[in-house]
Amino acid sequence: MDVTKNALMNTYARYPLTLVHGVGSRVWDDAGKDYLDFISGIAVNTLGHAHPKLAAAIAGQAGTMLHCSNLFHIPKQQQLAAKLAGLSGLERVFFSNSGAEANEGAIKLARKFFFDQGSARRGIISATQSFHGRLLSTLTATGQEKVKQGFDPLPPGFRHVPLNDIAALEAAMGDDTAAVLLEPLQGEGGVNPATTEYLKAVRKLCDDKGALLILDEIQTGMGRTGTMFAFEHAGIQPDILTLAKGLGGGVPIGALLATEKVAESFGPGTHGSTFGGNPLSCTAALTVIAVMEEDGLLLNVAERGAQLHAGLEVLCAKCSWIHDVRGQGLLLGLGCAIEVAPVIAGCRDAGMLVLPAGPRVLRMLPPLNVSATEISEALGILETVFTGVES
Ligand SMILES: *Cc1c(COP(=O)(O)O)cnc(C)c1O
């Protein structure tokens, strides 16, 4: 297949690879070669590929009812909302189809919350290097110039501050600030963790100044870091939480969660979605969560994450071009002194798929049910590839 000249818009610099099927943490290309998948569709394939319970649940729902308008009650949607509310400690849920849409909803909800109080607060403060999506609102919140170029005029009311600098945040917050929007661990921006002290201080600052805290856990949520949500590591709670990527295990679904008090501002007619939370995507998400619980996947993430982290530390010590290992659970990154694109190509040739997070960070996101044997195999491949890298 000529993959450079086709009818698609050329928005992706695609790898020279066509993946056609997968099982668990392994995928096959159209030439029959197999790869360990440490990308998982960018943190989407929570249960790996072709999980029998997920496949059966989706097929079963497709044979019952694929879609039903939100003009009607949807029991699967209510069941999923109750489950997510119980897991997160937030009371109300709105379903979207993607991460960016969930963040757009979060921004709208924060502004509407203050509008309803007669307050003029509308401002959103997010972090430099952050990534919040490709909609006009969310690319404006994103702290990376490259995603904004050419798309002006951008919506007003957005500011950016460096991550982990509480003084900078305090200085940026004013009477006009509606919300602080943060990823607890930046994914796309380079696997940059917000420290526990910072997150606790941000929570306190928001409370003191009367602003809302929105956490974007689109990449870190649904067990990726070893707890269901990354905010649990810091012992804080957001007012608004966004989820997507891993939630449906590969079926598109996003979610916006909020406290009862904040969620009251989304009354009938204020927000909506044709597809959001339809029976198919909610069945997928309910099944993902059920399998995570039945199979003890949070423990697996902690254990396999520790195994991968320890193995990467050993490689880091051996390779002068690797600065550090960072991240949490099964969202890990290697900070490098060199551009990682050739290393990623080398891994692909050697039978392993890994991602960049910016030009000099190599990112790994295996499925949450990856085995100890597969982590060992991956570390073996990485050692071989890294040993051949000229620094
Ligand atoms: C991927 C991602 C998004 C955007 O999600 P889409 O489903 O691509 O719209 C937003 N925030 C974070 C933290 C992400 O990782």
pLDDT digit string (tens) for 141-153? 999 999 999 999 9
Domain count, the chain: 2
pLDDT exceeds 90 at position 232: yes
Instruction: Name residue, tokens 């080398």.
Output: 346
Average pLDDT for 181-196: 98
Are 64 and 156 contained in the same domain? yes
Q: What is the mean pLDDT of the chain?
A: 97
Residues 179 and 249 in one domain: yes
* Termini Cα distance of the chain: 35
Ligand 1 binding pocket includes 88 (Cβ within 6 Å): no
Look-up: residue for tokens 């798309």?
Answer: 151
Among 241, 267, 294, the domain boundary falls at 294
Residue 90 has pLDDT above 90, yes or no: yes
What is the predicted pLDDT for the residue at 333? 98
Domain endpoint, select from 264, 294, 324: 294
How, if at all, do strands 322-328 and 331-336 pair? antiparallel
Do 19 and 102 sit in the same domain of this protein?
no
Give 348 Cα–ligand 1 centroid separation in angstroms: 24
Whether 70 and 43 share a structural domain = no
Are 289 and 301 part of one and the same domain?
Answer: no
pLDDT for 391 equals 59
Is residue 248 within 6 Å of ligand 1 at its C-beta? no
* CATH code of the domain in which 13 resides: 3.90.1150.10
In CATH, what number is assigned to the domain containing residue 168? Answer: 3.40.640.10
Q: Among 226, 261, 294, give the residue marking a domain's end.
A: 294
User: What does the pLDDT average to over 228-255?
Assistant: 98
Contact 357, 190 (CB under 8 A): yes
Q: Are residues 109 and 165 in the same domain?
A: yes
pTM of the model: 0.98
- For ligand 1, what atom is nearest to the CA of residue 254? 7
Q: Are residues 122 and 221 in the same domain?
A: yes
Confidence of residue 6 (pLDDT cuts 50, 70, 90): confident
Same domain, 252 and 347: no
Query: What is the distance in A from the centroid of ligand 1 to the CA of 18?
Result: 23
Q: Which residues contact 288 (CB under 8 A, 6 or more apart)?
A: 46, 47, 54, 222, 246, 247, 248, 249
- My answer on whether 61 and 198 are in the same domain is yes
What is the pLDDT at residue 1? Answer: 56
Domain coverage including residue 70 = 54-294
